[in-house]
Structure 1
Amino acid sequence: MKLVVTIVGKDRVGIIAMVSNILAENNVNILNINQNIMEGFFNMVMIVEMTDSKIKLQELQKILKEKGSEINLDIKVQHQDIFNVMHNV
């Protein structure tokens, strides 16, 4: 299953490392990353694959949301199909 991970917040050292480590620990493969920083604000979208992962989507969402909250980031994880429907106008 492919997921879309979005991360928004004030830029700081270690954001990509923190998210990547959580994904790696849960056997979630990163397929694509697009990130930019505008006037001190970090924005990243990742496409990931969790076919080989044992973790459930809801558990991954909870872990990333909690870790993000600890450092004032908004991290969302959505199934790619839901993301596509929400952003298809």
Structure 2
Amino acid sequence: MTSNSDISGKKLAAGICGILLGTLGIHKFVLGYNTEGLIMLLVSLLTCGLVAPVMGIIGLIEGIIYLTKSDEEFYRTYIASKKGWF
């Protein structure tokens, strides 16, 4: 298992990136979910930004969810179980 500081740092980075850069899926890349991050990035870019607000809302919601979970719950859900969406 990784240390609590590693989990807290990853949780904080993913949460902030989700809130600020959710449209681009950066928070997914931070967590190692490259497929999900690429989906969000490509949907935002290939629709010429038309669907970007939807991706931004998804990122905002996920960022808030990440930050409100305890470190243990975050680890179980997103690191150990690899839950990619919400």
TM-score, structure 1 as length reference: 0.26
Which has the larger strand fraction? 1
Which has the larger helix fraction? 2
Highest relative contact order (Cα 8 Å, sep 6+), 1 or 2? 1
